[in-house]
Structure 1
């Protein structure tokens, strides 16, 4: 079909082996994992007209990942305070980190997604990783999610000590930079229209970071606070590269 990018794994047996390599265990209910990899741009339609895609699993996985990371950090940094732990958790679960982890794991090669500009923005990879945690939780439970985080991410892809030392409050950095040059800074944030109505559909927020009235960065996500930080981080990257002066 023209204009469609369908990166799926054909054949049930092949899919089982692919998920075994990815997860480190055999799936019991492969349908959860298939759904976790299905982007809304290629949603399936239920008999009642509702859509099947990974957004609900993403919503579930987002909460599970927050709790898992908090638990891991609490035990790893035994002598550090609440502020440090909160900041470090935000660095791990922020969209840019999850996007990179998803790409490092090869989730982009397994996704089922329409090939168009909007659906291929980088954020979908981190969203898919969150959906994968939701699938693991439904299939195997919380402890399986913990083992996946520890064995497949923390031991192979993410250095907690290095993450803890990175900058986290990009809003403060971009604010200080704007004050230095007497620029006007705004973070207008609004809720996007929902494609599906209902209590199970989480709100999605978009932040546009404006400097002197001009949009220089955007971000989308489930938390107003997080999308503002994400937009600020993107703007700060442009400051560091010299693109934004």
Structure 2
């Protein structure tokens, strides 16, 4: 009878723990989720709150400076580049400077970082003045770099390096990334120079779609129209049309 009572009491306690876990306030939930992601104790929680605050909130700190992830993103970009460079230098003894630079560029380019940031579900922690799905895909890579910056400031280089290796580098398929193309636009221009073809982009703003500014880019090879694409920035539109054209032309 006593054993049954103790077992029943234990179940009640477990039920209460589960209940309290699901009823955390936003700050507690943020810390709980962040610790689960990082795997280490946090010293300065304010740094991490800043790393996940979008500029759209228009928040200010006590000194009146903007409270968002952009400065940490700037720092994280440099720290991440250093850690990745050191990792590649140690791993690929037979690679020369050019090979290492190309491989690093493929790892820390925007597409790759966005993919890794999304897989870590960093967008679930972001604080913005509108829904996360209203932000561009770059939010995932931006948050990843800001998080790296926050870890570096809070815990130092060694723990930051450990995080990058265990959480970021482990998600990279090096055999696939070696074959990947960083920029289809650059690859297409390089192909044009090699084949003595004139590659030309004609890009203009289109305001007819949902009353928003979109860029309409058309690609020509020797004055022959190959393809067109539309996106929210000139850079993205030209990259998109380059990718489409690259496949149409079946460039190896």
Q: Which whole-Å deviations, capped at 9, do the CAs of 1:120-141 have from their partners, x for residues lacking one?
A: 0111211111000100001001
TM-score of the pair, normalised by structure 2: 0.69
**Larger mean Cα displacement after TM superposition, 171-180 or 24-33:** 171-180
User: Alignment partner of 2:128: what SS?
Assistant: strand
Following superposition, the deviation at residue 236 of structure 1 comes to: 3.2
1:211 is aligned to 219
Question: Residue 41 of structure 1 corresponds to which residue in structure 2?
Answer: 56
2:38, 2:163 within 8 Å by CA — same for their partners in 1?
yes
Determine if contact 1:44/1:51 at 8 Å carries over to the other structure: yes
Please state if 1:239 is matched with 2:245.
yes
2:229, 2:238 within 8 Å by CA — same for their partners in 1? no
Match among 141, 144, 147 for residue 132 of structure 1: 147
Whole-angstrom CA distance in 2 between matches of 1:139 and 1:59: 16
1:167 CA drift (Å): 2.3
Report the CA distance shift for 1:18/1:219 in structure 2 as closer, same or farther (over 3 A): same
Query: Which ranges of structure 2 fall in alignment gaps of 5 or more residues?
Result: 1-23, 205-214
SS in 1 for 2:152: helix
Q: Distance in 2 between matches of 1:182 and 1:66?
A: 35
**Greater radius of gyration (CA):** 2
1:49-88 mapped onto 2 (5 Å cutoff): 49-88=64-103
For the residue of structure 1 that corresponds to 2:107, the secondary structure is: helix
**For residues 48 and 34 of structure 1, do their structure 2 counterparts lie closer, same or farther at Cα, with a shift above 3 Å needed?**
closer
State whether structure 2 residue 130 is matched by structure 1 residue 122: no
1:40 Cα deviation after fit? 0.6
Q: Provide the residue aligned with 2:41 in structure 1.
A: 26
Alignment of 1:95 onto 2:110: yes
Larger RCO (CA under 8 A, 6+ residues apart): 1
Match of 2:185 in 1: 171
Alignment partner of 2:56: what SS? helix
Going by fraction, where is helix more abundant, 1 or 2? 2
Aligned residues: 208
Question: Which aligned segments of 4 or more residues in structure 1 are displaced greater than 4 angstroms?
Answer: 116-119, 177-183, 207-210, 212-220, 230-233
16-25 or 45-54, larger mean C-alpha shift: 45-54
Aligned residue in 1 for 2:126: 111
TM-score (norm 1): 0.71
What is the alpha-carbon root mean square deviation over aligned residues?
3.5
Distance 1:62 1:119, change over 3 A: farther
Structure 1, unpaired ranges of 5+: 1-8, 189-206, 221-226
Larger mean Cα displacement after TM superposition, 232-241 or 165-174:
232-241
